[in-house]
Chains A and B, each alone.
Chain A
Amino acid sequence: MALLEVIDVSKIFPGVRALDQVSFTLKPGEVHALVGENGAGKSTLIKVLTGVYQPDGGELRYQDEPAQFGTPMDAQRAGISTIYQEVNLVPLMSVAQNLFLGREPRRLGLIDRKRMDREAGEILSGYGVTTDVRRQLGTLALGAQQMVALARAVMIDAKVVIMDEPTSSLEPREVQTLFGVIRDLHARGIGIIYVSHRLDELYQICDTVTILRDGRLVHTGRLADLERIKLVSLMLGRDMAEVRREGATAFSGAATADAGAAPVLRVRELNSRHKLHDVSFDVRPGEVVGLGGLLGAGRSETIKAIGGAYHLDSGGIQVDGKDLKKPTPERAVRFGIAVQPEDRKAEGIVPGLSVRENIALAVLPRVSRFGFVSDAKVDEIVDRYMKRLRIKASSPDQAVGDLSGGNQQKVLLARLLATGPKVLLLDEPTRGIDIGAKAEVQSLIDELAAEGLGVVLVSSDAEELVEGSDRVVVLRDGVVVGTLTGAEVTTEDLMSTIATEAPREH
Chain B
Amino acid sequence: MSTETVAARPVVDSARLKAWLPKYGVYAAIVLLVVYNIFFTPYFATWSNLRIQLIQVAPIVIVALGMALVIGTEGIDLSVGSVMALAAAFIPLYLGYGVVAAILVALMAGVAVGLINGILVAKVGLQPIVATLALFVGGRGLAVVISEGKLVDIRNDDFLYLGSGDLLGIPVLVWIAALLVLVVAFVVRRTVFGRRLLAIGGNRPAAELAGLPVKRVLITVYVVCAVLASIAGLLSVARIQSSDASSVGLLIELSAITAVVVGGTPLTGGKVRVLGTVAGALLMQLVIATMIKHNLQPSTTEMVQAVIILIAVYVARERKTR
User: What residues of chain A have their CB less than 8 Å away from a CB belonging to chain B?
Assistant: 307, 309, 329-330, 332-334, 339, 341, 346-353, 357, 360-362, 364-365, 368, 371-373, 415, 419
Taken together as a complex, chains A and B put the C-alpha atoms of A352 and B203 apart, in Å, by: 9
Quick one: which of B196, B198, B203, B207 has the most chain A CB within 10 A? Answer: B203
Closest Cβ of chain A to B320, distance in Å, is: 13
Q: Is B120 an interface residue (CB 8 A)?
A: no
- Is A347 a contact of B192 with CB atoms below 8 Å? no
Taken together as a complex, chains A and B put the C-alpha atoms of A333 and B191 apart, in Å, by: 21
Closest Cβ of chain B to A491, distance in Å, is: 30
Within 8 A of A (CB), among B191-217: 191-193, 195-196, 198-199, 202-203, 205-213
- Is A361 a contact of B192 with CB atoms below 8 Å? no
- Is A350 a contact of B199 with CB atoms below 8 Å? yes
Contact of B271 among A339, A349, A352 (CB under 8 A): A352
- Is A365 a contact of B205 with CB atoms below 8 Å? no
Chain B neighbourhood of A330, CB < 8 A: 211-213
- Is B206 a contact of A332 with CB atoms below 8 Å? no
Closest Cβ of chain A to B195, distance in Å, is: 6
Taken together as a complex, chains A and B put the C-alpha atoms of A334 and B206 apart, in Å, by: 16
Closest Cβ of chain A to B311, distance in Å, is: 22
- Is B206 a contact of A339 with CB atoms below 8 Å? no
Closest Cβ of chain A to B62, distance in Å, is: 22
- Is B211 a contact of A347 with CB atoms below 8 Å? no
A-B contact pairs, 13 of them (CB 8 A): A332-B211, A346-B203, A346-B205, A350-B202, A352-B198, A352-B271, A353-B198, A357-B198, A362-B212, A372-B191, A372-B192, A373-B192, A415-B210
Within 8 A of A (CB), among B204-240: 205-213
Closest Cβ of chain A to B127, distance in Å, is: 15
- Is B203 a contact of A351 with CB atoms below 8 Å? yes
Q: Is B190 an interface residue (CB 8 A)?
A: yes
- Is B202 a contact of A371 with CB atoms below 8 Å? no
A364-B195, A372-B190, A372-B191 in contact; A352/B270 too (CB < 8 A)?
yes
Contact of A334 among B192, B203, B208, B211 (CB under 8 A): B211
Chain B neighbourhood of A333, CB < 8 A: 210-211
- Is A353 a contact of B199 with CB atoms below 8 Å? yes
Taken together as a complex, chains A and B put the C-alpha atoms of A206 and B213 apart, in Å, by: 47
Contacts A361-B207, A368-B191 known; 6 new A-B pairs at CB < 8 A? A330-B212, A350-B270, A352-B270, A352-B271, A361-B199, A361-B212
Chain A neighbourhood of B271, CB < 8 A: 352
- Is B198 a contact of A348 with CB atoms below 8 Å? no
Chain B neighbourhood of A339, CB < 8 A: 209
Chain A neighbourhood of B198, CB < 8 A: 350, 352-353, 357
Taken together as a complex, chains A and B put the C-alpha atoms of A101 and B193 apart, in Å, by: 48
- Is A361 a contact of B210 with CB atoms below 8 Å? yes
Chain B neighbourhood of A360, CB < 8 A: 195
- Is A329 a contact of B202 with CB atoms below 8 Å? no
Taken together as a complex, chains A and B put the C-alpha atoms of A333 and B196 apart, in Å, by: 16
Chain A neighbourhood of B203, CB < 8 A: 346-351
Taken together as a complex, chains A and B put the C-alpha atoms of A351 and B195 apart, in Å, by: 14
Chain A neighbourhood of B208, CB < 8 A: 309, 329
Taken together as a complex, chains A and B put the C-alpha atoms of A349 and B202 apart, in Å, by: 9
Taken together as a complex, chains A and B put the C-alpha atoms of A339 and B210 apart, in Å, by: 8
Residue of A nearest to B205 (CB): A347
Chain A neighbourhood of B209, CB < 8 A: 307, 309, 329, 339, 341, 347-348
Chain B neighbourhood of A357, CB < 8 A: 195, 198-199
- Is B192 a contact of A368 with CB atoms below 8 Å? yes
Taken together as a complex, chains A and B put the C-alpha atoms of A364 and B192 apart, in Å, by: 6
Closest Cβ of chain B to A429, distance in Å, is: 15
- Is A353 a contact of B211 with CB atoms below 8 Å? no
Quick one: which of B203, B209, B270 has the most chain A CB within 10 A? Answer: B209
Closest Cβ of chain A to B295, distance in Å, is: 44
Residue of B nearest to A304 (CB): B209
- Is B192 a contact of A329 with CB atoms below 8 Å? no
